[in-house]
Structure 1
């Protein structure tokens, strides 16, 4: 059963959109299985650049059916705006499917996200303020609104009332904000029902039937492994499971149907938002990586924090996801450095540690132990095969592969769709 999971092996922003798009022509379904419009993918097709925030990258591949799974939280206004923007650019979006079990980001979820993050002050998590966390909290607290609720006004009203009973108490008494009217929220949500109706489906049934028919299904995670709610750098994480296990729960397929798990690695490391980052650079090298790599969040617009490649977190990602392959992106950004540091271990309280510490305190105090690898100055953007790369670039890739614990099967040497070296086929 050709089911593949494609996910970020660092803190997100590794270039998952490029990897998904590379496979798109050979894939029948591309499924987003978690997250919301706090994750963004940039896909470059020819001279056209597309910024996708909620839609699966496969929406740009003709013949591919893009699916928003039950594990995703959906902001209807953002989704409809994104669809409209693609339609205006001539992209066919009619094949999109949305799970009726996916949860809706309501206006009060966005309000709660913004006021609570502001209230935290210096202790803030660094959320995007788009209501993602509060929506997942409502889901767990069983007061969430699902896409299917838009088609039963009575149920929708009851659920909004139940959610606002507690939230209005918090908003008015704790944060000194105005109460939110039930009727206003219900009216706004009902306004999306007809526009979303053509896309709503039983996606669990659709995907399992597709796999039984030997269709190729690609499950696409947002964010990255180190932002996973269970396996990331808690509490500086997202509110869902971008790791491989999240594909099963977030799309409704069993783990025995997953045949390959592909981790996306950037040739260096970046992070958006607060939280520990052992290899972060605050010097000219960090600024150069940011400038050359165009390191600005697709969804947030925030500059990404930049650092050298961290083999410790790459090994961790291999372990917790059961990775079978890596796709190494942005190797071209490292062109021009005489030597390139790679973090091979941490120093914690004077001791060398080669695996990710389970203790939050230890990770906060981890100092990178670097190994220096020789760099290269040649332009690699036109390379079509591994042998086309300069010897030092080849050695860098091989060293990262050995340190990370899974084969590197593809290498990105530029932002374009065709600027990829494919070493081993993913299919």
Structure 2
């Protein structure tokens, strides 16, 4: 039995979709436990490309069962469209997809509030939200007035929805935003709710039964990354959920001691989307090369990602919080063309050496990277199918990352395809 968690260990966008797709070959269950459709996992299978925002990546494996856990906030329009597209492309979902009746609903008023609040913030204080309504929906959850997937099954659900629309229109008016048409909104959403109803159930018993079954392998799929965690990330420039391994219990309803393996995913360099401090961010030709070769554009929003050298401070911090047992190191091939590669081993803040991520956003913004340089391999790795085929300098770089972070690399990616993945152990 293996109950594994895959978490992003930087600012998200590390390539979780591809690694999850590889890991699902041996998974009986794949579970999303937090976030919403503000995250996208890109998976390439043969000549087919899939971008999944809410659906667990295991849906692309015919035998895996998939769960959208209670810790998610679900955009019903987005999910219905995503599932219908999968069905059109020949992916079976009946009897394979289960949506927690405790997961909260993202409605259009959440998106409108998201955008209106962001617009009110001064330059330099904007969060860089995707405007998908994630924050306002989690706020409703904490404020105990949200709507959940299970409410869709109730006879008075439409009345509940209309009541919420009236309340949110009052809030939008305060923010100077136009009111929503309740009749039009209900007409827009009800077909999606009808489509999703057969998938809604209590997922907690089935997941607990699966993790107790010694013949079952369960994979918990995180979204975003530890540096976007609501508690441990670069607050307030974070998402609104617990993105690390600690979020699994609360987001899926399983006991903490059931987790047997934590896989942290990192790029061989670092990226982030949105606002907030980013100590190793590059504004020179090296940064442009990382972005171009790495095709660094968000899977959900298409926004260009900010790029920088590998930050070992961030990786160590994420490994500590998440109890990372092993790394999945992504996009090593993006570094193929560099004669010199840098890695941040610590920060300098006002003359003080800092070796962890400070809680103070002001202090983190003043942190300057302390780099060590590494001689690049300056030749392709994309055709490599084993560790032995890698250039010697590439193998040394991997060992260097392991030494700096204290975590071994067990999965290595040298390209976007399933086949461009090397399992080291």
Shorter-chain TM range is: over 0.9
Give the aligned partner of residue 22 of structure 1: 22
Cα offsets for 1:338-386 (capped at 9, x unmatched): 1100000000001211222232221111000000011012211121221
Q: Which residue of 1 aligns with 2:152?
A: 150
1:13-412 counterparts in 2 under 5 A? 13-94=13-94, 95-122=96-123, 123-154=125-156, 157-158=159-160, 160-161=162-163, 163-164=164-165, 166-172=167-173, 174-180=174-180, 182=182, 184-214=184-214, 215-412=216-413
Whole-Å Cα distance in 1 between the matches of residues 159 and 316 of structure 2?
A: 48
Unpaired runs of 5+ residues, structure 1, are: none
- CA separation in 1, counterparts of 2:66 and 2:340? 42
Q: How much has 1:178 moved relative to structure 2?
A: 3.3
> What do the CA deviations read for 1:53-88 (whole angstroms, capped 9, x no partner)?
111111111101111000011111111111121222
TM-score (norm 1): 0.96
More off after superposition, 114-123 vs 69-78: 114-123
Aligned counterparts of 2:180 and 2:240: Cα–Cα separation in 1 = 24
Contact 1:73 1:105 (C-alpha < 8 Å) held by counterparts? yes
Distance in 1 separating the partners of 2:100 and 2:387: 40
Gap regions ≥5 residues in structure 2: none
Which stretch shows the higher mean deviation, 260-269 or 57-66?
Answer: 57-66
Q: What's the CA shift for 1:49?
A: 1.4
Give TM-score, length-normalised by structure 2: 0.96
SS in 1 for 2:334: helix
Question: Could you say what secondary structure the match of 1:244 adopts?
Answer: coil
What secondary structure is seen at the aligned counterpart in 2 of 1:136?
helix
Count residues in correspondence. 422
Could you tell me whether the CA contact under 8 Å between 2:277 and 2:361 is conserved in 1? no
Instruction: Tell me how far apart the structure 2 counterparts of residues 407 and 384 of structure 1 sit (CA, whole Å).
Output: 19
Q: Do 1:144 and 1:159's aligned partners in 2 also have CA atoms closer than 8 Å? A: no
Shift of 1:157: 2.2
| SS of the residue 1:347 aligns to | strand
| Distance change in 2, residues 1:372/1:302 (3 Å) | same
After TM superposition, give the deviation of residue 304 of structure 1 in Å.
0.4
Q: Indicate the RMSD between aligned Cα atoms, in angstroms.
A: 1.4
Contact 1:157 1:186 (8 Å CA) reproduced: no
**CA deviation string 1:106-151 (max 9, x = no partner):** 1111111111111214121000011111100000001101011111
